[in-house]
Amino acid sequence: AACSSYRLRDALHPLWQSELSVSGGTRQSPINIHWRDSVYDPHLKPLKIHYDPATCLYIWNNGYSFQVEFDDTTDKSVIMGGPLENHYRLKQFHFHWGAINEWGSEHMVDSKVYPAELHLVHWNPVTSTSFEDAIMENNGLVVIGVFLKLGAHHAGLQKLVDALPAVKHKDAIVEFDVFDPSCLMPSCPDYWTYDGSLTTPPLTESVTWIIKKTPIEVDQNQLEEFRMLLFTSAGEEEKRMVDNFRPLQPLMNRTVRSSFR
């Protein structure tokens, strides 16, 4: 009963009315990672990341988040290793965040929530011919999740933050060239990994999640710039883009593996 009422509340969340279409899901995201329940897997390799800053195309406001899109027509920006059997191409990255610092991330670690979470979305060019196809493929996608915590100014992020006023409204787009998202990665190699889903519609269960254990630090001004974006288009009544995170989903029959002891 608790689960169904939980799911009903979940399904009525403003951003996810369409939730009912996957309410039978068995591997939904995000989840609360219980550190002590995660299983160290010695076979997990270090994650290898090779991003070419020249593949960065533009930044836009898609009405859910702000998103930086990459040229994914070649293998110039890829990840491999970790839990992966082959390389995956970087397609885009975006963030989820809260109205205040007390919440905002999608995943949690022992119920600890962060003010924001970065998602770097990659697709499998070996088993799919396009990102759009990969969304529907089992393990067609890999999303690297990085927690953001309040702390020092993040110089690499600031280049992104400076572009946000240009994409304040839904569907706004601005050229954004030569950016290397590796600068948003924590130096600590440790991660958890589990099988899950997109956290926005179509919520398809096609994602191998790689959640970095260590957050990156950003300062208050940078978080507040995120919160000045709008869900709404120019001319509409303004709705601030905040709380664009999906509620926690049941772990069901899944194990979270860790790359570290």
Positions that interact with ligand HT4 (CB under 6 A): 94, 119, 121, 143, 198-200
Q: Indicate the residue among 206 and 259 with the shorter CB distance to ligand HT4.
A: 206
Q: Indicate the residue among 7 and 94 with the shorter CB distance to ligand HT4.
A: 94
CA distances in angstroms from 239 to 20, 59, 164, 172, 251, listed in the order given: 25, 20, 16, 15, 32
Question: Who contacts 179 (Cβ-Cβ below 8 Å, separation ≥6)?
Answer: 53, 56, 68, 159, 160
Is 128:145 a contact under the CB 8 Å cutoff?
Answer: no
Residue type, position 90, single letter = L
Q: Which residues bind Zn ion (CB under 5 A)?
A: 119
Q: How far is the CB of 102 from ligand HT4 (least distance, A)?
A: 21
Question: Who contacts 80 (Cβ-Cβ below 8 Å, separation ≥6)?
Answer: 48, 86, 87, 88
Q: How far is the CB of 151 from ligand HT4 (least distance, A)?
A: 24
DSSP code, position 9:
H
Is 121:181 a contact under the CB 8 Å cutoff?
Answer: no
164 interface partner picked from ligand HT4, Zn ion, none, CB below 5 to 8 A per type: none
118 interface partner picked from ligand HT4, Zn ion, none, CB below 5 to 8 A per type: none
Q: Which of 59, 256, 71, 94 is nearest to 175 (CA)?
A: 59
Q: Indicate the residue among 41 and 132 with the shorter CB distance to Zn ion.
A: 132
Q: Indicate the residue among 198 and 242 with the shorter CB distance to ligand HT4.
A: 198
Q: Point out the residue whose Cβ comes nearest to Zn ion.
A: 119
107 interface partner picked from Zn ion, ligand HT4, none, CB below 5 to 8 A per type: none
Q: Indicate the residue among 17 and 220 with the shorter CB distance to ligand HT4.
A: 17
Q: How far is the CB of 64 from ligand HT4 (least distance, A)?
A: 7
121 interface partner picked from ligand HT4, Zn ion, none, CB below 5 to 8 A per type: ligand HT4
Q: How far is the CB of 257 from ligand HT4 (least distance, A)?
A: 19
198 interface partner picked from Zn ion, ligand HT4, none, CB below 5 to 8 A per type: ligand HT4
Going by their DSSP bridges, the two strands 116-123 and 88-97 should be labelled as antiparallel
* Strand stretches in 170-260, DSSP E: 173-175, 191-196, 207-212, 216-218, 257-258
Q: How far is the CB of 119 from Zn ion (least distance, A)?
A: 4
Q: Indicate the residue among 119 and 213 with the shorter CB distance to Zn ion.
A: 119
Going by their DSSP bridges, the two strands 141-150 and 216-218 should be labelled as parallel
Q: Indicate the residue among 45 and 135 with the shorter CB distance to ligand HT4.
A: 135
Q: How far is the CB of 168 from ligand HT4 (least distance, A)?
A: 20
Q: How far is the CB of 243 from ligand HT4 (least distance, A)?
A: 13
Rg (CA), the chain: 17
Sign for the pseudo-dihedral over CA of 74, 76, 82, 86: positive
